[in-house]
Amino acid sequence: MTNDELIKMLEKTSTPELKKEHVLKCESKFINEVLPEVLKIKKPQKIRKLAIIATGIAIIFLITIGSFTLRNQVGGINIFLSKFGKYIYIIKCNNAIVASVNGENIYLSDVANEYFTKKAIYDYQEKYYKVSSLNSLQDPIDILNELIDQKLIAQYIKKNGKYKIDEVYLNNLISNEKEWFKYKLHSLPESIKLNSVSYKYFIMESKIIRDLFNHSGLSEEEFFEEYILPRLKDNAFIYSLKEGIKDDITAIPVPTDQEINYFIEAEGKGLVTFAKLSYSSLSEAENAKLSFEKGNFSEYTLLDVILQNTGTAPLTNLTFSNFSELPTWLVEAIEEKRNPPYLKIVKNDDSFYLVGIFNFKKPLNISKELAIFLIKQKKIEEESVKILTSLKNKLRKESKIKITNQETIKNLENMN
């Protein structure tokens, strides 16, 4: 999608009277100044001069304090840490109702936030993982349908006396998310160690959250209340209903021996996620390892080097029942008592591999009794999903659902 196409789309779908309902309080001055800046479009001469002056100020500011956190200033230029945060911000400033569920509105920004956050994670997976490891990316229409279902479930629980929201679950969600929200806005404390995949997800989400917060004009508490809390409540409504449905399920057949044996074999498998570089001598491998380990989260440097040298996704996932199923050099690289990620040098024939271990789960010895219990829990889960799906379909037929601007929603896929 070109800049002009994006602007026309926003102009066509923008609903000025909704400004007060926006999560982000976007002023018209920022629509005139920030929007042209982030989209790099032609501006009136006066604004171009302001932009040049402000750009110079911003550069000096960044050099001086070494920070990318710049709050909204009238006449200033806003710094974005990620393209996805920029897109969501622009859409929120030109928001539009894309659906209504029994009078409750869903906005384009609601869909955009979910879609672009998932897309950021998907783009990372697509870059570093083998294709077979990828989960498919939901399209924006699917996400809209999820948001509609969330509204329906929340409305149903509020009206239905049988099922109530699990306040303990919701309070735990809020408490945990508030803590992570603080980390995303500031920094992760030294005491918290994440594996490589979780850390990368944390960084991507942090950039999007910081973009939205830095341009919101809200306090941290206000931002959390208006932007994050509604989604947590939607999550809690669905969880509460699902747990209530599970409690009503009593007739679950006893698993067959064939089911038990299949479950033990499938669920008991170990998993290792790794990447490797090959060197002709031990000294070369040792120098490379030392070089990688000089920086924090050095495994990303390893992945980027492999990607640059081979042009293929560097991470591989292998499942196994016994270590004998894995290559000998990989078994030597695995240290069961060590938490990933870490680097290890191993010899293979005439070469030396620098192996990055990113995830490891050893095979489990699942007893028959545990297998029976877990199979029953799985069947209860599957049955609850069927009942919940049936309920959603029933609620959709009974409810007043209006979807507008469907083409605009689909166009989110073109914003790359």
DSSP string, 69-88: -----TT-----S-HHHHHH
Q: What's residue 18's pLDDT?
A: 40
CB of 123 closer than 8 Å to CB of 309 = no
Burial (0-12, 13-18, 19+ Cβ within 10 Å), 280: exposed
Q: What's residue 202's pLDDT?
A: 82
Which of the 8 DSSP states describes residue 42?
-
Q: What's residue 113's pLDDT?
A: 87
pTM, two decimal places: 0.70
Phi, psi of 345 (to 5 degrees): -95, 130
Which of the 8 DSSP states describes residue 168?
H
Q: Return the closest-CA partner of residue 313 out of 283, 358, 353.
A: 358
**Distance between start and end Cα atoms, the chain:** 8
Q: What's residue 390's pLDDT?
A: 95
Phi, psi of 191 (to 5 degrees): -70, -20
Strands 401-403 and 97-101: antiparallel
Q: Return the closest-CA partner of residue 88 out of 207, 181, 178, 177.
A: 207
CA distance 331 to 96: 55
Q: Return the closest-CA partner of residue 24 out of 183, 298, 225, 223.
A: 223
Strands 351-361 and 316-320: unpaired
CB of 79 closer than 8 Å to CB of 68 = yes
Asked if the bond preceding 16 is cis, omega within 30° of 0, the reply is no
Q: Return the closest-CA partner of residue 274 out of 244, 229, 318.
A: 318
Contacts of 132-141 spanning 24+ positions with Cβ under 8 A:
132/317, 133/315, 133/317, 139/410, 139/413, 140/111, 140/112, 140/115, 140/409, 140/410, 140/412, 140/413, 141/406, 141/409, 141/410
Q: Return the closest-CA partner of residue 4 out of 30, 38, 39.
A: 39
Q: What's residue 138's pLDDT?
A: 85
Domains annotated on the chain, with CATH: 3-246+399-414 (no CATH), 269-361 (3.10.50.40)
Phi, psi of 354 (to 5 degrees): -95, 110
- If the chain, 416 residues long, is cut into consecutive pieces of 10 residues, what is the mean pLDDT of each piece? 51 45 43 44 41 38 32 45 82 86 92 87 75 69 93 88 85 93 86 69 84 85 89 88 89 90 92 90 90 62 74 83 94 89 90 90 92 93 93 94 88 83
Q: What's residue 157's pLDDT?
A: 87
Q: What's residue 78's pLDDT?
A: 52
Burial (0-12, 13-18, 19+ Cβ within 10 Å), 72: middle
- Residues 6 or more apart whose CB falls under 8 angstroms from that of 403 comprise 98, 99, 144
Q: What's residue 402's pLDDT?
A: 94
CA distance 353 to 345: 6
Strands 342-348 and 316-320: unpaired
Phi, psi of 140 (to 5 degrees): -60, -35
